[in-house]
Amino acid sequence: MADNLLSQNPAETVGNTPKGGRKNRNKDQSGDDDKSLLQGADTSLVPTVGDKDEGDESLKIRIRLNLKAKIPIILITTWPDMAFARRLAILPGGLGGLGSSIGKKLREQGARLAILYAPFEAARRDELLHAGYGSASGTSTSDTDIRTYECDITSPQSVSSAFSALKEEMVSPSSSAASARAFPSILINTAGYVSLSDMELTPPEETMKHLTTNVLGPMLCSQAFARMYFEAAGNAAASTNPPPPGRIVSISSQAAHVALHRHGAYCASKAALLGLARSMASEWAPRGITSNTVSPTVAWTALGKKAWGEDAVREAFLKNIPTGKFALPEDVADAVLFLCQDSSGMINGADIRVDGGFTIR
């Protein structure tokens, strides 16, 4: 509310200053005189000096008085926008190039992160965490900002164990302090798998690996998230503050919409993910969770650069993209962030194609 009116930097805005009143009094001039004048002022509707609403970390209100006019003046100080403050975002695949870009965007908006990484990433966890988030310890500015959990998303037992652990540490910690808890509000399904082979030569085990990683994994994680969200929302129903909306965003692909040569199993799995996301959107939206997908073209991550590093191959593919370039990780992250906003509540069961127009031809 105040962010539209005031500077993002900590600044004070003075209101209710009458003609002839002084706007810029030094703080050392507001001593006992201010206190005596305050005794006659009606402050029942204004917070006490220094108060800050725990539910809104972006706003602080203080009281001063214009001595000449003896009128209370409200001073409002703003902090950077924290749209997802005290909300938990869960990111399967959050150590990857796309996942870390999305995670950083969410952190900038105040979200706390629970990053699920695959067992094969365990040996490089600290390296990947530092590369993606600037942290090699599993934490950021505090112990509850970023946590990591090893999880095989294709295993129901592993998913259950990871979600139980993050719930205990981040959603319902033993500490009774409200600042130690985060509401499970966001799930970003970024983990995925792809391999290339001619259709007639694709081994059955490769097809199953695509389907279990790209479809079963997101389904298991979404089910665990939904159960956690419904429980937290039920507990919050008794409080004066309504629970924040639930948001599931799954990373699909342009391959869900068009046939790509030697990508048969991948195309099938990403198309199935669209159907899964729409089904979740239909069933869970009445209970507070929206579900959407983002379908990027080739993302210029470390893996993308490795796969498309050869100039001739890259230039040939880029000719099929009207914008003439691959997607940056930040391009995909911005689309995901938009779908996570409270203001995106009427977008449900949709797919945003971040493909430069590749699929329109």
Positions annotated as catalytic residues are 266
From 191, 276, 280, 274, select the one nearest 230 (Cα to Cα).
280
Distance, in Å, from the CA atom of 296 to the CA atom of 263, rounded to the nearest integer, reads 15
Burial of residue 155 (CB within 10 Å: 0-12, 13-18, 19+) is middle
CB contact at 8 A, 305 and 313:
no
Distance, in Å, from the CA atom of 295 to the CA atom of 258, rounded to the nearest integer, reads 11
Strand bridging mode 87-92 / 351-354: unpaired
CB contact at 8 A, 39 and 63:
no
Angle of CA points 350, 348, 95, to nearest 5° = 75
Coil, helix or strand at residue 267? helix
